[in-house]
Structure 1
Amino acid sequence: MNQDLEQYHDIIEQLKPMIHEPEFSQILAQVAGSVPKQKRFLLKMELKRLARPCTRLIDLRGHVDGKCKLYEYESQRHYLDDTAIEVFERQVRSFGEYTVGVYEAVLNTENNYRVMHKKEQQASSQPKQPDNSTLPVSHGYSAPIMPFGEFAQRGEERMNYSMSVELFTENNKSMLATTVDVSLSGLKLKISKEHRFKAGDRLAVQFRGLEHEYMLDNRQGVQYVIESIDRNAQDQRLHLKRLFDTLMPSFDRFLERFIHGNKRRYKVNMDNTFDAIHKKTYEQYYIPNFTSIPVYIDSTDGVFKPRYALANDCNRQDIFYWNNEINDLKLGYLFKNERIKQCLMYPKGRQETYLYAFHHIKNEKVYFYSASHEELLANPSLHELFLSYGSRKVSWRVYKFQVQEVEPKQSHRPLSIADSISESVKRQNQPPTPRLMSRLRHLSHIALLTNVTDESNTLCFQKLPLNRAKLPSLKVFGHPRNRSPENIQVFRFKYANQRRESRFMLRSAVQLKVEDIIIEGHTEDISTHGIKLELKTFFHKATDCQVQLSFPQLQKVTRKYDLSNLSYQVRHISNERNVLHLNVLNDENSSATKAFFEELIKNNKNKLKAYRDEEDIPGIGEALRNIYANNVPNVAFFIRKEGTKFVPDATATWANQNRLTNLLSFQAPPGEFNLLPLFEGFNGPIDFVQHTLTHIKPHQRPVMSELFVAFDPSKNSASEAIKSCYIDQFANDDQRRQFIAQALEQGQFIALKIFLARTGRPDIDRLQSEINYVGVYAVHRAKQLEEKLWNINGVGDILDITDLVMSRYQFDTQAIVNNYERQLHHPQKSIEIEQLLNAE
């Protein structure tokens, strides 16, 4: 790029997506209005140069600090590293094709040796800057809180239009103001702060700016009431709602024609629509990637029963855990009426507990056991026995169980735009059908079940004494097989990366053959074209390899098909390398394989349980999704990439003030959370986020880790008040327990469970009506927003598991209660946390 244009780099990046738009010249004049006309012409020529198609191949091997691999784009073969691939794809989205601008951007990534050398030379030639190390780092990790579903719906279009108006109070006091935007039933006004108003005041408005030009004469004025007031240091903004107690049909017709005829010229106010698109896109990233299981609770006559569960690709494995030997779902065992009532006895914001579970297989039958934290405390003689024995089982699970109030009306999520825009918009704004609402009307709570099992807590419980002579006493925690739990219907909300066909839950023996090695396992789900299976041992090959599967149990039910050595291709391998996703390989036997599974599914649809893609009541999956999005109790967070670094972009929660939100709000700007604990440890940056997002791919299950935080809010800065360490940074359990004890002496201890996944593409189809609408009036803003949202690389969840961690490290109930209620003003002890963290 020309040196003279370097100063306009940001403007050029902003205008790249608009270069092919018919209104490009107008957009250029608007975006670069402050640039001198001659320079503006050079900008236009530069953008046209960057937009020229390019055919040059790129080979970065030996030129970048990164591992290069073959990357194909439209039959062109490039060799790029991960950073270059990301820049390439982002620039292609901006230009719409491979252009000179894409080529140059890829050659100038931050990890390019030439670029790094140039920066080093520039740095050495510049005078040394003053040391800024004393500046607080906390704000660098702050991100806005964007509650899902919280955006305004407009019943009609608002046009940005500035004109003078005269206001008359009920006492006939007159004052002048200026409109900000206008609609048929409302006004937004800017007026001097010297005038005093309050919500509910009535005003008569004379449209002085229109009277002469349009011969408008309404001497009595148009009646409005003040809905709300925004005040700042310079002026105040009044939000007015039209009162229709006096009919003015001629004025209504005039205003409607005026807005319709001028809205393209003066532009429609679309702030609420951009806000809606922004928040809905974050939802679309989050919903497919949370690992928790939302279970919807029905309340009738004071009795709580589980009714529905919302599934995605990340939590379905935890749902399947509760299938018995004949694939009946027994998840309802966990959601006993007494457990839910016990949680609801706690104060709001703390209506939660922990559940422990395992299962035992005898005579090919599955027996489930579970206990809540309170149930174990009520049985002290069995408390340690249950934890010690259960944690030795492969099936051992630890869950956080959170209960939250919901309202069925939250199932309705209209668009942010008015019905009058189009018939399609009007249909999408319709409330749920009475038939659907009849299925939801008794829903009162969501019980959120989150699997927090990991090696650390399992090993702690295994250290507890085990008296095998007392094992028969654990029957009190067993779930009788002759007493079925409440049936929970599982629905799977449809999103962009959904499979092309329904998958059915089926657990059946399978033998996998690869390179003359046979590995035993069982299927988890099946479809005509693919299968998911869990192996008993480690799978040593890579994705895309070919394997042969044999189905000994299924062979017993058919003589028509030979179910041995069927060819499949491995499409995905779990992080533990024991769960595989496979597709039928297209060879001479593939038609028989597909025919068998198609026939099996067709003949057993009443027995096989499918994800509820074919909903018995249309819209119920989306309704359940909307309810959960409006009641997310934990903190979701989103990560974007800036150069080579991953940084916080946004957060979302509906939680009330609690221990977690207090921590994240500390020293954060208003309306934001400070994610400093995730990124900065006592000894400097922590690379959990960076390392995880660099090594995982989209659609993999989130990576889970545990974070210990010592929090002392009496300190003046976040970096002094918050000392954090991931659990694997400690050498042993003694160090972990010492960290907790010292945190309690100095302030408060908080333990967090962090889940982090790589994002896939957002489901733009669900936002298409709103995107199309803003594209009509502000195509450049729409493309800027789309580019920003495409830059989200990671999505995660933060859970408070403090009580669980303190319990497993043998802190008693009183210490746990004191830690929660502590006022956090404690004298420093001689042994500092800093010393502990620096210990070898």
Structure 2
Amino acid sequence: MTEQIEKYQYLIETLAPMAHEDDFHELLAEKAKDCSEETRFLLTMEIKRLAQPCIKSIDLRTLVDDECTLRESDGIEHYISDEGFELYQHLMALYKYYAVGVRDGVIGYFSKQRDIALGKTKREKPKHENTAFSHTYISPIEQLLDFPQRQDERVQLEVEIRVFLSASVLICGKTLDISKRGIKARLDDETELTLIKGYRPVQIVFVGLDKETKLQSTAIGYRVAGISKGQSQAEVHFIREWDEGPKLFNNFIESYLAEQKTPKLIDTENTEAAIETKIYEQAFSVNCPSMSLFVNTEKISRPFVQFACVNDINIEILDYWQDENNKSTIGYLFDKERLKRLILESDSDKSIFIYCFSHTSGGKVYFYSATDYELEKNAILKDVFLSYASRKASWRVYKIVCHQLNTNDAHLPSSLPDGASRESSQHNRPMVPKLVSALSPLSHLLTLSDITHIPGQQCYQQRELEKDKIKLLSVFGHAKNRLPAEIETYKFALLDLRRERRYQLRTDVVVKNKSETTHAVTEDVSVQGLKIELDDAIGATKGATVLVSFTRLQERTKDYDLQELPYRVMHVSDDGYILHLQASENDKSNMTKSFFKMLINKNRDKLSVLSSDNATPGLRQALRVLQARFSPQMCVFTSQQKNLHIPIKVATNRPRAAIYSYLYHRMPSEYHNFSRIFDAHYQGKQSIGVLINQARKHHIAQSSEVFIFYDSSKIEIEDAVTVKWEHDVPTHVEKYRFIKNAIANGEFFACKITALETQKPITTLYDDELNYVRRGKPKLGSRLEALAWNFSGQVFLTDITEEALHRYRLFQQ
């Protein structure tokens, strides 16, 4: 790159992935309008150079100290570190193919890092972070419980194929795996993907098969099932009807599958995806601060909320609505008129805000509530209500979002085909008629979020209070003699992550960690592990091996040696006194497992199982699945890297919702960019990180509000998105001015951010699939299991834009 355009490096890296787009020249002309003609020419040449396909490999072995492994992508082998591969994947997502800019971006980043380490260059903070640095805060999107199910097991098969789209249109490729009814393939020329049409019938010739098969020239009928994103390039899925043959091909498939169906060769890609999304769903469901409620519209004229799902976080919403008799009155929020208004407009994710307070008199609790539109209709009392209510300790503000449901999506089959394991056939059965009957009247999901925040409450208190009108607020009161119908509530029980069911058993043990020994008591046990509480902390750390002696149980048996049994530490409480342990894999631990199997089998009727169920079998899980697939709540999962909490995955069912447009500014459809929210900028600290650290320290959710100005016309995200945390605009005057300026010059958004520590995994939702993967790929199984333990926190984003506009009287603007 010449010195003349070196200062435009960020612009070049931003525009290079767009070089083939129709509006590229307009974008370049806009951003380089102040440059000379010669400079614009040089910029164009450099951008086109970076956009060219690349055939050179990446070799980081001389640039980084980390181990570089050989990885193949698009037929090119690279020696690349884990960090380098993460950057490579991000750049590939931007360019969509292996371009010169991908190679230059990876090598250039690590070359600069090496020069900084050697003191060869002065490290200055750039005006804008370039792509190589800012990728840290770009997170892939996860739509919860969205994974493919297979009818048959697949095994690896790589042979050349010819796909005839018609008599005159032929494309070439190579299979990746095969099953009785389908194949997965990769095209030699990815540009030909545009020729592929969903469910289109095609004829496929397996030209790469051995001559002995007599199938090299036989055309087999398939249909296009779809296209998915592979690790390096797109993959095409083809399906066929087994009964349509031909018989020679069917015989070959059966023979090949019988010979090759070993755990190592079975393709588990979809099962791996299922395990991952179930891990994220488990963390989402037990930590979501919003409550899910399900509306019954069997009689459309009389809709009502029938079910509610709560967890340990959002159960505080239920607690608020307990009256003096400990009866839940949360149904007051959902009268018939409010529900009708939500349901009629729910196709666009209609939302309302409800302002509430309570008053206690004579030992009785009286509840009051008003929606935003009810207050607009009663303008005389609007300020009186908001001013008076916000002065009460019981002040609450709720947001309710309504979305239409499809209860058929409540079924969660296994990712494994029937017969692959003992449990898979049971999971794949259709929902039983009793469960279908219980779900069929449900038509809408309500997501109830408590968005109460002290600065907002203080803002409403500034409104004039006409005390002589306070008595008139009785029109917003809920009658004590007309209690709402009780809502059937299901708390998501924290099911066990471990591979066996837990049983409550308290017995004395002795725990040894290196030279330190202490007494302890078990809290619960399973065949695979246990949880214990120590008398004294012994410095055990995650991943270490401790020796456990079951002193009391040893007195009951001479057939088993229960002394100094090795267990791996999976989790340590903050104070070091509670350990989650997993049995190590060796001969002695096998004896432990045998003993506990015997103990549990003989005492099953006496041991308390740590699980629960409900009157309608499967209803709890069905509601949980519906919540995961329809909830509008956004959740960001973080991992701690050095002193920063980095987003690693964002769970959302609305990846392109307008209320989050500032997160996908000029981003590929499968990513969100959190750099403007997660970046460290406040007194040298990461604001998100402060919230997460406080949540982990005090074991309670931490929240803050952020105000956002978004100008979609800008190219760089640093210019397009301006984020102000509540401490950046500490006064209401400053907040008001920021909002007004944002409305005048672009778009305004407000968001409540809630950070929580991730509860330790205790679910068996994917045990069957995890064991299936572990049989053929034990290291991969261990990595998937470890994922559930490695979250540093969860960050929930709730849009409060309309409420903020109402708060500062700017809603009409």
**Normalised-by-shorter TM-score class:** 0.5 to 0.7
Question: Quick check: 1:290–1:796 contact (8 Å CA) kept in 2?
Answer: no
CA distance in 1, matches of 2:118, 2:228: 49
Q: Distance in 2 between matches of 1:649 and 1:191?
A: 30
Structure 1 residues 759 and 201 mapped into 2: Cα distance closer, same or farther (>3 Å)? closer
Question: Structure 1 pair 733/307, CA: closer, same or farther in 2 (3 Å)?
Answer: same
- 1:179 equivalenced with 2:172 (yes/no): no
Aligned residue type for 2:259 = G
* Residue of structure 2 in register with 1:239 after alignment: 237
2:126 is equivalent to residue 127 of structure 1: no
2:129 to 136, 150, 156: 136
Separation (CA, whole Å) in 1 of partners of 2:770 and 2:276: 11
* Structure 1 residues 124 and 276: CA distance shift in structure 2, 3 A: closer
Partner residue in 1 for 2:330: 331
Output the CA distance in 1 between the equivalents of 2:687 and 2:123: 30
Matches of 2:357 and 2:139, distance apart in 1 = 39
Task: Work out whether residues 225 and 243 of structure 1, in 8 Å CA contact, stay in contact via their aligned partners in 2.
Answer: no
**1:673 Cα deviation (Å)?**
0.8
TM-score, L = length of structure 2? 0.68
Does the CA contact (< 8 Å) of 1:158 and 1:183 recur in 2? yes
> 1:440: Cα distance to partner?
0.9
Q: Distance in 2 between matches of 1:334 and 1:245?
A: 56
**Offset at residue 631 of structure 1 (A):** 0.9
CA contact (8 A) 1:667 1:674 kept: no
1:369 aligned partner: 368
Matches of 2:766 and 2:264 in 1, distance apart? 25
Q: CA RMSD in A?
A: 3.6
* Aligned 8 A contact 1:198 1:229 in 2: no
Aligned length, in residue pairs: 603
- State how 1:635-646 maps to structure 2 within 5 Å: 635-646=634-645
Change (3 A) 1:175 1:308: closer
For 1:294, the equivalent position in structure 2 comes to 292
Q: How does 1:36-55 map to 2 (within 5 A)?
A: none
Q: How far 1:803 sits from its partner (Å)?
A: 1.4
Q: Would you say 1:159 and 2:173 are equivalent positions?
A: no
CA distance in 2, matches of 1:635, 1:700: 21
Q: 2:257 aligned to 253, 256, 259, which one?
A: 259
Native 8 Å contact 1:699 1:758 kept in 2: no
In 2: Cα distance, 1:305 partner to 1:629 partner: 22
Deviation for aligned residue 1:713: 2.2
Distance 1:460 1:176 in 2: 65
What SS does the corresponding residue of 2:380 show, helix, strand or coil? helix
Equivalent-residue separation in structure 1 for 2:116 and 2:172 (angstroms): 56
The 8 Å contact of residues 346 and 403 in structure 2, kept in 1 or not, is answered as no
Alignment partners' CA distance in 2, 1:149 and 1:772: 19
State the partner residue of 1:430: 429
CA distance in 2, matches of 1:635, 1:699: 23
Conservation of the 8 A alpha-carbon contact between 2:331 and 2:487: yes
Consecutive unaligned residues in structure 2, runs of 5 or more: 1-60, 72-76, 80-112, 505-522, 524-535, 537-609
Distance, in Å, in 2 between the alignment partners of 1:612 and 1:395 is: 35
Which whole-Å CA distance do the structure 2 matches of 1:282 and 1:224 have between them? 35
Any idea what the Cα deviations from partners look like across 1:257-301, whole Å, max 9, x if unmatched?
321321338722222222221221111111111111111111123
Q: Structure 1 residue 442 and structure 2 residue 441: aligned?
A: yes
Whole-angstrom distance in 2 between the partners of 1:713 and 1:197: 33
Specify the SS of the correspondent of 2:765.
helix
**Secondary structure in 1 aligned to 2:672?**
strand
Offset, 1:640:
0.6
Counterpart of 2:280? 282
1:501 Cα shift? 11
CA distance in 2, matches of 1:265, 1:699: 45
Distance change (3 Å), C-alpha of 1:350 and 1:452:
same
Which amino acid is the alignment partner of residue 276 of structure 2?
H
CA distance in 2, matches of 1:170, 1:225: 13
Alignment partners' CA distance in 1, 2:234 and 2:627? 37
- Cα distance change, pair 624–197 in 1 and its aligned pair in 2 (3 A): closer
Aligned residue number for residue 146 of structure 1: 142
Question: Deviation string for 1:317-362 (max 9, x for gaps)?
Answer: 1111111111111111101121122234547445001001111122
Shift, 1:422, TM fit: 1.7
Residue pair 1:388, 1:461 contacting (<8 A) in 2 also: yes
Question: Residue 484 of structure 2 aligns with which residue?
Answer: 485
- 1:810 shift after superposition: 2.4
- In the TM superposition, residue 795 of structure 1 has moved relative to its aligned partner by 0.7
- Pair 299,210 (structure 1): closer, same or farther in 2 beyond 3 Å: same
| Structure 2 letter corresponding to 1:227 | A
For 2:430 and 2:418, locate their aligned partners in 1 and report how far apart those are by CA, in whole Å. Answer: 12
Q: Offset at 1:227?
A: 2.7
Matching of residues 275-674 of structure 1 within 5 Å: 275-302=273-300, 303-346=302-345, 348-496=347-495, 613-655=612-654, 657-674=656-673
The question of whether the paired residues in 1 share the 8 Å contact of 2:692 and 2:702 is answered with no
Task: Please list the CA deviations of residues 659-690 of structure 1 after superposition, one character each: whole Å capped at 9, or x if unmatched.
Answer: 33211111334411111232247778652221
Q: Does the C-alpha gap of structure 1 residues 231 and 798 become closer, same or farther in structure 2, counting only changes over 3 Å?
A: closer
Equivalent residue of 1:755, what SS? strand
Superposed counterparts of 1:202-217, under 5 Å: 202-213=201-212, 215-216=213-214
Q: Which of 221, 224, 236 is the equivalent residue of 1:223? A: 221
Cα deviation for residue 766 of structure 1 reads 1.8
Residue type of the partner of 2:292? P
Aligned to 1:798, the other structure's residue is in SS state strand
Query: For the Cα contact (< 8 Å) 2:410–2:626, is it kept in 1?
Result: yes
Aligned to 2:267: 269
Amino acid at match of 1:634: Q
Aligned amino acid, residue 294 of structure 1: S
Output the CA distance in 2 between the equivalents of 1:777 and 1:252. Answer: 26
Q: CA deviation at 1:248?
A: 4.4
CA distances 1:238-263 after superposition (whole Å, capped 9, x unpaired)? 42211346354564344223213213
What is aligned with 2:33?
none
SS at 1:392 equivalent? coil
Query: Cα distance 1:124–1:286, how it changes in 2: closer, same or farther (>3 A)?
Result: closer
Letter of the structure 1 residue corresponding to residue 476 of structure 2: F
> Which residue in 2 is equivalent to 1:778?
777
Structure 1 residue runs without a partner (length 5+): 15-26, 28-32, 36-119, 503-528, 530-543, 545-610, 816-840
Q: 1:271 to 1:464 in 2, by over 3 A?
A: same
Contact kept? 1:681, 1:725, Cα under 8 Å: no
Pair 1:252–1:500, CA change in 2 (3 A): closer
Residues 446-480 of structure 1 show CA distances to partners (whole Å, capped at 9, x for unaligned) of 11111111211211222222223222211111111
**CA offsets 1:767-809 (integer angstroms, 9 cap, x no match):** 2111111112222333334444432111121111111112112
Secondary structure of 1:790's partner? coil
Q: 1:657: Cα distance to partner?
A: 3.7
SS at match of 2:444: strand
Counterpart secondary structure, 1:792: coil
CA contact (8 A) 1:161 1:179 kept: yes
Checking the alignment, whether the CA contact within 8 Å between 2:691 and 2:703 is kept in structure 1 is no
1:481 Cα deviation from its structure 2 partner: 1.4
Relative to 1, partners in 2 of residues 1:653 and 1:121: Cα closer, same or farther, differing over 3 Å? Answer: closer
Task: Report the equivalent of 1:758.
Answer: 757
| 3-state secondary structure, aligned to 2:261 | helix
